[in-house]
Chain A
Amino acid sequence: QVQLQESGPGLVKPSETLSLTCTVSGGSISSYYWTWIRQPPGKGLECIGYIYYSGSTNYNPSLKSRVTISVDTSKNHFSLKLNSMTAADTAVYYCARVVVTPLYYMDVWGKGTTVTVSS
């Protein structure tokens, strides 16, 4: 069965860029959409954006100026870059698979990785 694993630094300094990778195992990254979602402490879930395996992307307008999501099909992983980090970006970051038929939903999730923004 498909499993997702986030990796990346747990601590980022203010103004720096966060880089996370989500590795897909047990299945191919092809033919699916993939998404990054975050959850600030004690708050709800926020979709950062998603990417098709072909590379087309869709970003949340609230983060669009700071976000880049990319995919590497040869490594079966996709990545998130979020620049100009502030304390407000402190959150648990999840990657997930997006099913689009019949409708969009996230059926497989990574365990999440905690990112703290602090100097």
Chain B
Amino acid sequence: DIQMTQSPSSLSASVGDRVTITCRASQSISRNLNWYQQKPGKAPKLLVYAASSLQSGVPSRFSGSGSGTDFTLTISSLQPEDFATYSCQQSYTTPLTFGGGTKVEIK
């Protein structure tokens, strides 16, 4: 299985901050990388697919980049509704696997 490692596991930030979350794959996955946002008690929501394509309806302050083994999700200006857990997921090969998540908390 391809292991997905996210860092940090949690972070504290303020509204308006620029936030960057990193995801590393245990082997090259080209651009087969998706990002999801999950709020407590809710289902995950797709933010970015194919490493850098923004899902319809997702605010432009979210962006994704990377290829191969290293990927980032950036929130350019953190908003109150962005406090949540973010997970990456590889779709290069089965089984599809997720990172452990990064919890973004209010400073």
Contacts and interface: CB of A to CB of B under 8 A. Distances in A.
Interface stretch (B13-21, B66-74, B75-83, B91-99): B91-99
Interface of A: 35, 43-47, 50, 58, 60-62, 94, 96, 99, 102-107, 109-112
Interface string B41-52: 011111001100
B14 to A, nearest CB: 26
Contact of A103 (B42, B43, B46, B49): B49
Interface of B: 1, 31-32, 34, 36, 42-46, 49-50, 55, 87, 89, 91, 94-101
- Per DSSP, are chain B's interface residues mostly helix, strand or loop, or mixed? loop
27 contacts: A45-B44, A45-B98, A46-B98, A47-B95, A47-B96, A47-B97, A47-B98, A60-B94, A62-B95, A94-B43, A94-B44, A103-B34, A103-B49, A103-B91, A104-B91, A104-B96, A105-B46, A105-B89, A106-B36, A106-B89, A107-B49, A107-B55, A109-B44, A109-B45, A111-B42, A111-B43, A112-B43
A29 B47 CA distance: 23
B35 to A, nearest CB: 9
Given A103-B31, A103-B49, A111-B43, A45 B91 contact: no
A112 B43 CA distance: 6
Contact of B101 (A44, A61, A99): A44
